[in-house]
Amino acid sequence: MSNTPLLRRGATLAAALMSASLVLTACGSDGDDTGDKAATAHSDKPAETRSVTAENGTVKVPAAPRRVVTIGNTGLPFIDLGGKPVGVTEASDSDLDVLPKEQRTAYEAAEIIGSSGGEVDLEKLAALKPDLILVQFSSKDWDKVGKRLEAIAPTVSWGLDTEWKAFADAIAEVGNVADALSRQKTAFKEKVAKIQATYGKIIDTTSFVDVSRGNWNDPGTFYIADIGCSEIARDDIGLDLPKAAEGKDPLAYASLPFEQIRGLSKYDVITYPVDADGVPTKPFKPVVETNTWKALPAVKSGRALGLFCPGNNSYGPVNRYLDSLDSALATLSGKQ
Amino acid sequence: MPRPRRRLLGLLVVLVVLAVLLMLSVMIGSTAIAPSVVWDALFHSSADTDQFAIRDFRLPRTVVGLVVGAALGLSGALIQALTRNPLADPGVLGVHAGASFAVTVAVGLLGVRDVQGYMWFAFAGALIVTLLVLAFGSTRQGSSPVVMVLAGVCVGAVLGGFREALQLTDPDAFDAMRNWNAGSIAGRPLEVVWPVLPFFAVALVLAFVVSGPLNALALGDELAVAQGVRLVRTRVLAVIALTLLAGGATAIAGPIGFVGLMVPHVARWIVGPDQRWIFAYSALLAPSLLLVSDILGRVVTRPGEIPVGIVTAFVGAPVLVALVRRKKSSGL
């Protein structure tokens, strides 16, 4: 779910890479529709194209793509921007569970072409006759199928280390869904400004730690989240959250045994993952059930805050996360 | 000193070593906690985070290590005696394959995610598959260890194929199985141990019952029969005992290799070919090895940990190589 960003690292480097990577040379646009619906209304005129430069080089793509296939992490961000892909690789149940209804409908309307990036059914993909393929997965997966994807349709690929804002910008431009992006970005800026203005004192004087646990963690282990939504709280909002030393792997990469829950007692406020109903997520439940957790000063004083993070790869879910953070910080106001 | 007294003295030494390791397992962890806090946690409890860390995590883990280790050691000794093969471990009868397959089904198809949930699947899988192997390995002339081992390898291969197919189609199951397959005693609450203990108790009694007949079997089937040993009964009881032990241990901790293979060898060097002593030593030496490995796994990659199944493989593999290269390899 929100904390799958374990797959993404080096955000700073990626931001620089992305700003250089997406050089759009627009030759015009013939509409802003995408997906099957649009595909039925195409004209006989040769589609206008433009060149984009991404991780796999400079690619000539349709200015207004109609049959978009998304592979790897590009699916949900594209749908979040109003895109309607004709084919997608499977999203995890935890991601689908928190998807807004209309986005879920768009996802379900698309053909599933594989379980993950490297496991794409190329025959099925080719049968969809895509005019654009959007890809984000590991370089290993790209080496495996990249060339074959490019043989099917114009393919734009981003690495897993792409910073989320740059990624959203790039998807919006290439997928021709920039209007929605603009609205989402405005909302994001407003929410950040509101939180900073309302909880300025708390932000300045409180030490936070964000902890989490995923399905992939060994039994009896958790991790300190310093990437994903936590990164947004730290870098955009300004919360005092732990961060890995320069040049080191993110803290989130280390599974910590439960006995290290006791080390959380040094923080004023602990944040942890909850679902849309405010209940600790299933993987995290074993943590809150331990006596060590219950005995933490922050927990006993009501300063353990559940945060809902439906995703961190595009503005829609991030804005929902900021709403959750806003509500959580509001509960601290009376406790200062 | 007469041999029985030497063996008894040795057993006491092993017992003391185990007791020391049990203490160290509670004292040493991925974070430093003062010995006084450990003492208070055990004998003067209060609602303190450090004390909870001892009582809720280190203590259960130590108990799990003790129980799982003893079960693995004894089951290894049983299978080596039964098959008269010093390189046999419970895995050759399909115990691990059965448990792994059942856990994959539980995780992948039924959505079971916690240890308490899938341990029963692992246990049932181990038992069912071993019974199958026993049935396949029985001929009109009776049950032959060689045929049983072959049947175990075949059933294991088939189930392994199904398991991998299931895991490849379900990334979540693959993730969950990745952890389970490593073999670990971390994060297991005491609640996973209590239900398995009655099965271990039954297995312990069975092991005691068959230890004498297995001594006779080491001389060959004909001589054993001549001494009044009932071959089929002895083998069936031994298989039931080792399946309960290895199945229960695997259900709790996942497949942990080398313990059941290596420890009976060491026991045999110390006490000679008498199965009764080998069983007793194996049941005490194996938890010692498991606890040492677990303690190492907690400290070498601080603040993270290495699952005990990986450390036992590191420790066990070189020792196994040394064993098989020995001129006077331990016979059975």
Write out chain A's pLDDT in tens, 336 residues. Answer: 444 443 344 444 444 434 434 444 434 333 333 334 334 334 445 568 888 888 888 899 999 999 999 999 999 999 999 999 999 999 888 888 899 999 999 999 999 998 866 678 999 999 999 999 999 988 888 888 889 999 999 999 998 888 899 999 999 999 999 889 999 999 999 999 999 999 999 999 999 999 999 888 888 899 999 999 999 999 999 999 999 998 888 999 988 999 899 999 999 999 999 999 999 998 999 999 999 999 999 999 999 999 999 988 899 999 999 999 999 999 987 665
| Alpha-helical runs (H) found in chain B | 3-27, 35-43, 49-52, 59-83, 95-104, 115-136, 145-169, 171-182, 197-217, 221-226, 231-253, 259-271, 275-299, 308-325
Domain that holds residue A98: 4-176
Q: Determine the angle formed by the axes of helices B197-217 and B275-299, rounding to 10 degrees.
A: 130
What secondary structure letter does DSSP report for A48?
P
What was the pLDDT predicted at A334?
A: 67
Do B188 and A258 count as a contact with CB atoms less than 8 A apart?
no
- The verdict on A155 and A220 lying in the same domain is no
* Contact of B109 with B121, CB cutoff 8 Å: no
Mutation choice for B interface testing from A73, A93, A218, A249 by most B CBs within 10 A: A218
Q: Among residues of chain B, what percentage have pLDDT more than 70?
A: 93
Q: Does any domain span residue B331? A: no
* Contact of B177 with B112, CB cutoff 8 Å: no
Q: Determine the angle formed by the axes of helices B95-104 and B231-253, rounding to 10 degrees.
A: 40
Do B31 and A93 count as a contact with CB atoms less than 8 A apart?
no
Contacts of A289 in chain B (CB under 8 A): none
* Residue whose tokens read 């080398």: B258
What secondary structure letter does DSSP report for A274?
B
Q: How many domains does chain B have?
A: 1
CATH number for the domain that contains residue B308: 1.10.3470.10
Helix (H) or strand (E) holding A50: strand A49-54
Stretch B235-242: mean pLDDT: 89
On average, the pLDDT of chain B sits at: 85
What secondary structure letter does DSSP report for A254?
S
- The verdict on A155 and A192 lying in the same domain is no
* Contact of A221 with A257, CB cutoff 8 Å: yes
Half-sphere exposure (CA, 13 Å, Cβ side) for B94? 32
Over the stretch B116-137, which tens digit does the pLDDT of each residue have? Answer: 777 888 888 888 888 888 788 7
CA B18 to chain centre: 16
- The verdict on A147 and A188 lying in the same domain is no
Q: Which residues of B24-38 are buried (b: 16+ CB within 10 A; e: fewer)?
A: ebbbbbbbebeeeeb
| Residue A34: CB atoms within 10 Å | 26
The residues, ordered by sequence, that sit 6+ positions from A223 with a Cβ below 8 Å of its Cβ are: A211, A212, A213, A214, A217, A251, A252, A253, A254, A255, A256
| Residue A89: CB atoms within 10 Å | 26
What was the pLDDT predicted at A19?
A: 40
Q: How many domains does chain A have?
A: 2
- The verdict on A149 and A25 lying in the same domain is yes
Residue A168 carries which side chain, given as an amino acid letter?
A
Q: Does any domain span residue B169? A: yes
Distance from CA of B302 to the nearest CA of A (A): 9
- The verdict on A248 and A194 lying in the same domain is yes
Q: Which two tokens stand for residue B14?
A: 């092993």
Calpha distance A314→A324 (Å, rounded) = 16
- The verdict on A190 and A237 lying in the same domain is yes
Mutation choice for B interface testing from A94, A262, A299 by most B CBs within 10 A: A262
Of A151, A176, A201, the position where a domain reaches its end is A176
Q: Does any domain span residue B150? A: yes
What Å distances lie between residue B315 and B226, B259, B320, B321, CA to CA?
42, 10, 9, 11
Q: Which two tokens stand for residue B117?
A: 């949930």
The residues, ordered by sequence, that sit 6+ positions from A265 with a Cβ below 8 Å of its Cβ are: A296, A297, A298, B49
- The verdict on A165 and A233 lying in the same domain is no
Write the residue in A217, A260, A295 that is nearest to B48 by C-beta.
A295
Calpha distance A204→A329 (Å, rounded) = 13
Distance from CA of B104 to the nearest CA of A (A): 15
pTM of the entire predicted model: 0.77
* Residue whose tokens read 């992948």: B108
Q: Does any domain span residue B216? A: yes
* Contact of B195 with B201, CB cutoff 8 Å: no
Calpha distance A153→A128 (Å, rounded) = 11
What was the pLDDT predicted at B281?
A: 96
Write the residue in A215, A219, A263 that is nearest to B172 by C-beta.
A215
Of A148, A176, A204, the position where a domain reaches its end is A176
Angle B226-B232-B234 (CA atoms, 0-180°, nearest 5)?
80
Q: Mark out chain A residues that contact chain B at CB-CB < 8 A.
A: 92-93, 115-116, 215-221, 254-263, 265, 282-283, 286, 290-292, 295-296
Helix (H) or strand (E) holding A152: helix A139-152
Q: Which two tokens stand for residue A230?
A: 């936590």
Start-to-end C-alpha separation, chain A: 32
- The verdict on A76 and A147 lying in the same domain is yes
Angle A273-A299-B28 (CA atoms, 0-180°, nearest 5)?
90
Write the residue in A92, A219, A257 that is nearest to B179 by C-beta.
A219
- The verdict on A169 and A32 lying in the same domain is yes
What was the pLDDT predicted at B326?
A: 67
Q: Does any domain span residue B332? A: no
Angle A51-A52-A54 (CA atoms, 0-180°, nearest 5)?
150
What was the pLDDT predicted at A106?
A: 95
- The verdict on A100 and A118 lying in the same domain is yes
Length of chain A: 336
Of A176, A210, A225, the position where a domain reaches its end is A176
What was the pLDDT predicted at A336?
A: 55
Calpha distance B91→B89 (Å, rounded) = 5
Going by C-alpha positions, the residue among A76, A54, A69, A71 that lies closest to residue A117 is: A71
* Contact of B30 with B299, CB cutoff 8 Å: yes
Do B48 and A255 count as a contact with CB atoms less than 8 A apart?
no
> Strand A155-158 and strand A132-136: pairing?
parallel
- The verdict on A165 and A313 lying in the same domain is no
Calpha distance A55→A137 (Å, rounded) = 11
Handedness of CA B185, B189, B193, B195 (dihedral sign): negative
Higher confidence at residue A1 or residue B5? B5
User: Phi and psi of B31, rounded to 5°?
Assistant: -130, 155
Going by C-alpha positions, the residue among A4, A147, A14, A153 that lies closest to residue A70 is: A153
- The verdict on A172 and A189 lying in the same domain is no
Is the peptide bond between B303 and the residue preceding it cis, with omega within 30 degrees of 0?
Answer: yes
What was the pLDDT predicted at A45?
A: 52
CA B2 to chain centre: 32
Q: Determine the angle formed by the axes of helices B259-271 and B275-299, rounding to 10 degrees.
A: 130
Calpha distance A298→A270 (Å, rounded) = 7
* Contact of A213 with A283, CB cutoff 8 Å: yes
| Residue B289: CB atoms within 10 Å | 25
Calpha distance A333→A205 (Å, rounded) = 12
- Closest B-chain CA to A260: B31
Contacts of A6 in chain B (CB under 8 A): none
Higher confidence at residue B46 or residue A29? B46
Contacts of A215 in chain B (CB under 8 A): 113, 172, 175-176
Write the residue in B31, B175, B187 that is nearest to A215 by C-beta.
B175
What was the pLDDT predicted at B331?
A: 53
Do A256 and B48 count as a contact with CB atoms less than 8 A apart?
no
Q: Does any domain span residue B201? A: yes
Domain that holds residue B317: 3-325
Contacts of B49 in chain A (CB under 8 A): 261-262, 265, 292, 295-296
What was the pLDDT predicted at B224?
A: 86
Higher confidence at residue A153 or residue B43? A153
Q: 3-class SS at A155? A: strand
Do A258 and B304 count as a contact with CB atoms less than 8 A apart?
no
Q: Is B325 exposed, middle or buried (0-12, 13-18, 19+ CB in 10 A)?
A: exposed
Q: Which two tokens stand for residue B275?
A: 């199965």
CATH number for the domain that contains residue A209: 3.40.50.1980
Contacts of A97 in chain B (CB under 8 A): none
Higher confidence at residue B73 or residue B110? B73
Q: Which residues of B216-252 are buried (b: 16+ CB within 10 A; e: fewer)?
A: bbbeeeeebeeeebebeebbbbbbbbbbbbbbbbbbb
